[in-house]
């Protein structure tokens, strides 16, 4: 996993007030809960005393998370405030504290800051989705999150993996793709699939990205958008569980019908098809070896893989701590 990044790890609806939630993310078992103000708190899910899972405990009226084993009370800062066996008025040594992960919540997602350094800035999202109606499914994949990301940057696979859905028409020839970096950790992909008529594909620099309403966009480390039109989008968060498992948080956004109830129904109605398309990908991606993608992984890439190469180059730089 890339360190010192804001990762989407959950949707807001998964963490309700008054109840701790256990989740494995980025290879660690974590506990999430809400403080009295409703802010999401994230700890390493292990009591510092005897190793019990804090997620099996409860949130107290005083706002602390109580360990189920011996009743240690944890403040949202991660510090133990009360050791019941010592008495409520007894001071608690500073060493009694659990690892806490900074959190951020917006747009129905929960992010955590994954790294040893202090958080840098705030997580980013796609700026123009506030007036959309959306629906979501959470889909488990037996694959490393980097492979799932690359699949969504790949135009070459469409007529083969999705021959009866979004890849219909035998459009096997791929123009470009063009890649436009918006900043160091955000880029867009412009591509066009067409029937092979004997002419060579356009080179990446020949793909005209200006005024294009259709493109893919990726924000490191794990957020993607298919900008289908001004009124229709598909958004995905690729949530790392561990090195072998990913949760795909897949959303469909629309604003061609903005009425709250009917607009929500339209978004939900679209989700079975989007999940079907994702499962066509999932069947193949889980077979890829090695599990995680790599800049120098021995694969022989082609022109159509340019977005994947760009992703791998930046990912490798971030893994090496380069800006």
Query: What are the pLDDT digits (tens) for 238-271?
Result: 999 999 999 999 999 999 988 888 999 999 999 9
Render 222-259 in DSSP notation, one character per residue.
Answer: TEEEEE-SSSEEEEEEEEEEETTEEEEEEEEEE-SS--
With respect to residue 125, please indicate whether it lies within any of the assigned structural domains. Answer: no
In-domain check, residue 124: no
Among candidate residues 114, 141, 166, the one where a domain is terminated: 114
- 3-state DSSP assignment of residue 86: helix
Domain that holds residue 140: 133-319
pLDDT for 211: 64
Is 200 found in the same domain as 61? no
Indicate if 85 and 199 belong to the same structural domain: no
- Whether 252 contacts 271, CB under 8 Å: yes
Residues 276 and 182 in one domain: yes
User: Is 148 a domain residue?
Assistant: yes
Q: What is the pTM of this model?
A: 0.95
161 and 252, same domain (yes or no): yes
Question: Across the chain, where does the E strand assignment appear?
Answer: 5-11, 21-25, 28-34, 40-44, 58-59, 65-66, 73-74, 80-82, 100-101, 103-106, 109-114, 133-141, 173-183, 186-194, 215-219, 223-227, 232-242, 245-254
As a whole number of angstroms, the distance between CA 206 and CA 230 comes to: 24
Residues 292 and 182 in one domain: yes
Answer yes or no: do 37 and 183 share one domain: no
Task: Tell whether 103 and 162 lie within a shared domain.
Answer: no
Residue 126 belongs to some domain of the structure: no
Q: Facing residues of 238 across strands? A: 248
Q: Domain holding 80: CATH number?
A: 2.102.10.10
Do 140 and 216 have their domain in common?
A: yes
Are 148 and 33 within one domain? no
In the chain (323 residues long), the average pLDDT of successive 10-residue segments reads: 96 96 98 96 98 98 96 97 96 97 98 92 94 97 98 98 97 96 96 95 86 90 97 98 98 92 94 98 97 92 97 96 78
**Total domains in the fold of the chain:** 2
The domain boundary residue, chosen from 114, 143, 171: 114
Kindly state whether residue 121 falls inside one of the protein's structural domains.
no
In a domain, 169, yes or no: yes
> Is residue 171 domain-shared with residue 284, that is, in the same domain?
yes
Q: Same domain for 71 and 148?
A: no
Q: How far is 15 from 105, CA to CA, in rounded Å?
A: 11
Residue 122 lies in a domain: no
Please identify, among 82, 114, 146, the residue that sits at the C-terminal boundary of a domain: 114
Residues 92 and 210 in one domain: no
State the pLDDT at residue 163.
Answer: 97
Residues 262, 268, 269, 270, CA torsion sign: positive
CATH (domain of 191) = 3.90.380.10
Give the helix/strand (H/E) hosting 304: none
């Amino acid at each position: 996993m890339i360190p010192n990044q804001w990762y989407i790890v959950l949707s807001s609806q998964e963490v309700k007030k008054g109840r701790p939630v256990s989740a494995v993310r980025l290879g660690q078992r974590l506990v999430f809960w809400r403080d009295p103000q409703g802010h999401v708190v994230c700890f390493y899910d292990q009591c510092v005393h005897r190793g019990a899972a804090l997620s099996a405990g409860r949130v107290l009226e005083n706002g602390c998370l109580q360990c189920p084993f011996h009743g240690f009370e944890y403040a949202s800062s991660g510090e133990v405030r009360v050791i019941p066996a010592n008495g409520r008025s007894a001071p608690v040594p500073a060493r009694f504290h659990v690892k806490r992960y900074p959190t951020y919540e917006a747009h129905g997602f929960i992010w955590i800051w994954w790294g040893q350094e202090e958080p840098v800035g705030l997580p980013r999202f796609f700026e123009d989705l506030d007036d959309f109606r959306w629906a979501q499914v959470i889909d488990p994949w037996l694959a490393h999150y980097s492979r799932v990301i690359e699949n969504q940057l790949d135009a070459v696979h469409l007529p083969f993996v999705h021959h009866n859905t979004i890849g219909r028409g035998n459009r096997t020839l791929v123009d470009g793709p063009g890649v436009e970096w918006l900043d160091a950790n955000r880029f867009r992909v412009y591509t066009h699939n067409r029937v092979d008529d004997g002419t060579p594909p356009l080179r990446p620099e020949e793909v005209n990205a200006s005024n294009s309403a259709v493109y893919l966009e990726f924000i490191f480390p794990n957020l993607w958008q298919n900008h289908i039109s001004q009124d229709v989008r598909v958004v995905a968060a690729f949530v790392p569980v561990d090195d072998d498992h990913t949760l795909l948080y897949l959303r469909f956004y629309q604003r061609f019908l903005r009425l709250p109830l009917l607009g929500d129904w339209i978004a939900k109605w679209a989700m079975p098809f989007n999940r079907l398309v994702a499962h066509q990908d999932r069947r193949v991606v889980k077979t890829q070896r090695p599990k995680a993608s790599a800049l120098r992984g021995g694969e022989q890439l082609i022109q159509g893989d340019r977005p994947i190469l760009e992703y791998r180059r930046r990912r490798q730089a971030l893994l090496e701590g380069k800006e």
